[in-house]
Amino acid sequence: MKTEISLKTEFTPHKSSIKREIFQNSALLALIVMAVFGFFLSTILYYSEISKARTVINQSNHGVALFIDGYFTEIMNTITVLEENKDIRDAMALGAEARQRILEGYRSILKANKNITYIYSGYENGLMLINDYTPLEGFDPTTRPWYREAMEIKPETLIGLPYQEIKTNEWLVSTSRALRRSDGGYSGVVAIDCSMDQIVHLIAQHDQYGTEFSFVMDSSGKIVMHSDQSLLGKSLPEMKESLQEDTKGDFTYRIDKVEYFAHYSRISSTGWTVVTVVEKREIVRPIISQVLFLIGMTCAIAVFLGLVQSTLLSRRLSRPLVELGRKLKATIAGDELEVDEYVYPNNEIGIMAREIGQLAEKELNAKTRALHASEEIYKTILMASPDDITIAELSGRIIMVSEAANKMFGYEPGEGPGMSVMDFIVPEEHERAYANIVKMLEENYPGPNEYRAIRKDGSCFDIEINNSLIRDQQGTPVQMVLIARDITSRKKADQQIQELVQQLEIERDFAQRNSLTDSLTGLSNRRFFDNALRTEFSRHKRLGSQLSLIMLDVDHFKRYNDYYGHLAGDDCLLQIANALKAVIKRPPDIVARYGGEEFVVILPETDRQGTIVLAKRISESLLGLALPHAQSDTSEFVTISLGIASAEDHLLTDGAQLVALADKALYQAKKNGRNRYEVLPPST
């Protein structure tokens, strides 16, 4: 079954006439007049709606700001009172009865204020006081955002921290404050949580516009309240330049091709910024409707005036010229003129018609002779070309093919004409081939294009096709020329080169990974550790962030190797590495094999106390493995000694000094009996 492509109708030249031109010019003049009128009216409507929208947004924003200010002022006052309560401050040292009194006080506040979801306090020893909530096993309040950030800004109050509750996955807004002990230190954090959904629901109640909504940002520009919870904690760079130093103002911004009108105001009590926005298109939609109505009326009036004027003028001017064009067309096409055809008046137009007719007949005969000569030249080129040259109609039906085409596709001479160009391409690529032909016709795209071709015997091979168009005198495409070349050998060579490049890339990636990973334990190696330490120490010096280091060594490991053998020793190191991976889980923390039986842990954003807690966990995890060590003087099982050093405790100039301090602490741990940790300077 042959496939044909019907594309000729797409290139029919646009016809025009004097009558039509008169009508178009008349309508255009009317359109210009009406367009000027519509422009001024549209401008008035636009600025009226914009002014109304600004007023509505400002009023909504002011109401939300007042609500947020009152809402969190009450929360801040409550948490200040709680922080001053001596029992809450010293809860770690109190008994069960006193702690129960604290919980009763929390419950009373919850009953009095329906806006509060939870009241609780967490302490540095892991104690958590909260009503009607059972934390997950192993829950440590000191690791939660409301605890850490309150400790970082102590003694100030942390206001409006959005976070996701670890057990219920509910989004809450936390206000917290560090608890100062009687001795001046800090024992924990007291916090009040409010439901994010409740607050967002209250501030999102806008009735004037369907796309109107409000959200809240903190002083750093991060979103703390938004109906889209995926945006919590993020910044909107589109607004950064729009929010000025003023306490309130109007601005516009664009996100994902949607333009918004917005108004912002700052809340002095919390330092937050309330932003209320509405989509610009909702505001201008009524304007567009009215403008479209005006355009419709303008077009109708212009069409009517153009029709009237063209009818009156065409009777006087267009008829003689239309008949002249008909005569020229018949002469060029070789048609005989009808007996009762229109007779021109004996004037300039009649004389012009007779002279043009004679000239057209003479030129037509000359072009017919030239066409026959061109066909002979084309046939000679087709037969001599080593590539397949095919001439086809725009429908895809083949008119003429070269001898090389018959050899390439396995057909006998004379079989190609009458077939479709699609008969030589596998069916799976017909749609793409059709799209490329359309592209050639519309954009004059010459190729090249590659296809899977099919021979007469059914075998397939790869071809590359370049194409061009044959046009008539008016520039309208009438035929297409396709030049095909067999590229099977070239495709095979390209594939082999690509496979070789991919293999080289795989080997390169494998070599890079091995250069930074310890082959036995799978941990980072010494080289990776040195680079990472330089980076973290540089950040510590630049930002003043905390940085700690743990260096650990397997006690009596040489005896272990001598007694159990090196294979058992390697297995022991592998189990220790796995235990370290299980304990050290934070993404920024780095565990590396330092050399032999020594390991090292880099702990960014971790102070000395946090590092000691982690060192205890590492020791407990290793003891939990219960690896026998018959030759140890310290224990019947494999143990480790640990040295701890924190950059905040010393004046250091580079990471190597921090490593030296940790190594010195490790030496002290071994000297003091092993199976322990030591800190430089000693922990108090």
Q: What mean pLDDT is predicted for residues 225-254?
A: 74
Q: Give the long-range contacts of residues 155-160, CB within 8 A, separation 24 or more.
A: 155/180, 157/76, 157/79, 157/80, 159/72, 159/76, 159/270, 159/271, 159/272, 160/72, 160/216, 160/218, 160/224, 160/225, 160/270, 160/272
Q: Rounded to whole angstroms, how far apart are CA atoms 568 and 81?
A: 61
pLDDT of 461? 85
| pLDDT (0 to 100) of residue 642 | 96
- Choose, from 124, 212, 597, 678, the residue flagged as catalytic: 597
Over residues 251-266, mean pLDDT: 80
According to the model, what pLDDT value does residue 611 have? Answer: 94
Q: pLDDT at residue 564 above 80?
A: yes
Confidence of residue 9 (pLDDT cuts 50, 70, 90): very low
Alpha helices in 385-417 (DSSP H): 403-409
* Beta pairing partners, 466: 483
Does residue 549 come out as left (phi exceeding 0), alpha (psi in the -120 to 50 range) or beta?
A: beta
Q: Which of 400, 310, 276 is nearest to 27 (CA)?
A: 310
What percentage of the chain has pLDDT greater than the value 70?
Answer: 77
Residue 628 pLDDT > 90, yes or no? yes
- Per-residue model confidence (pLDDT) at position 533: 94
In the chain, CATH 3.30.450.20 sits at: 385-491
DSSP state of 592: E
Q: How high is the pLDDT of residue 599?
A: 96
- Residue 222, judged by CB atoms within 10 A of its CB (0-12, 13-18, 19+), counts as middle
- Are 521 and 621 in contact, with CB atoms under 8 Å apart? no
What pLDDT score was predicted for residue 219?
Answer: 73
Identify the weakest region by mean pLDDT among 199-203, 286-290, 384-388. Answer: 384-388
Strands of 449-454's sheet in order across: 398-401, 388-393, 477-486, 460-471, 449-454
pLDDT score at 431: 87
Judged by average pLDDT, the poorest of 28-42, 268-282, 353-367 is 353-367
CATH number of 385-491: 3.30.450.20
Nearest 5°: phi and psi at 543? -105, -10
Tell me the mean pLDDT in the region 648-658. Answer: 90
3-state DSSP of 185-211:
CEEEEEEEEEEHHHHHHHHCCCCCCCC
Q: Over the chain, what is the mean pLDDT?
A: 80
Higher pLDDT, 349 or 340: 349
pLDDT at 571 (0 to 100): 95
What per-residue confidence (pLDDT) applies to 115? Answer: 83
Q: Lowest-pLDDT range, 110-114, 240-244, 291-295, 582-586?
A: 240-244
Helix H or strand E segment including 431: helix 430-443
In CATH terms, the superfamily for domain 526-680 is Reverse transcriptase/Diguanylate cyclase domain (3.30.70.270)
- DSSP labels, 251-298: EEEEETTEEEEEEEEE-TTT--EEEEEEEHHHHHHHHHHHHHHHHHHH
Question: What does the pLDDT read at residue 550?
Answer: 96
Q: Which range has highest mean pLDDT (23-37, 118-132, 405-419, 468-482)?
A: 118-132
Angstrom distances, CA of residue 641 to CA of 206, 210, 334, 612, 627: 64, 65, 109, 13, 15
Using an 8 Å Cβ cutoff, are 539 and 604 in contact? yes
CATH 3.30.70.270 residue ranges of the chain are 526-680
Percent of all residues in the chain with a pLDDT value above 90, rounded to a whole number: 26
- Rounded CA separation 66/68 (Å): 6
Band (229; pLDDT cuts 50, 70, 90): confident
Mean pLDDT of 304-324: 60
- The answer to whether the beta carbons of residues 235 and 221 sit under 8 Å apart is yes
Q: Which amino acid is at 439?
A: K
- Tell me what pLDDT residue 381 has: 61
Side-chain-facing half-sphere of 204: CA atoms under 13 Å = 14
Enumerate residues 6+ apart whose C-beta is below 8 A from 12.
Answer: 476
Q: Is 597 a catalytic residue?
A: yes
How far apart, in Å, are the Cα atoms of 3 and each of 34, 433, 534? Answer: 51, 12, 69
Nearest one of 264, 236, 231 to 64, comparing CA atoms: 264
Indicate the range of 5-14, 54-63, 134-143, 476-485 predicted with least confidence: 5-14
Q: CA-to-CA distance for 243 and 218, rounded, in angstroms?
A: 12
pLDDT in tens, 537-554: 999 999 989 999 999 999
Is 1 a residue whose pLDDT tops 50? no
Residue 136, Cβ density class (10 Å: 0-12 exposed, 13-18 middle, ≥19 buried) = exposed
Residue 557 C-alpha from the chain's centroid: 51
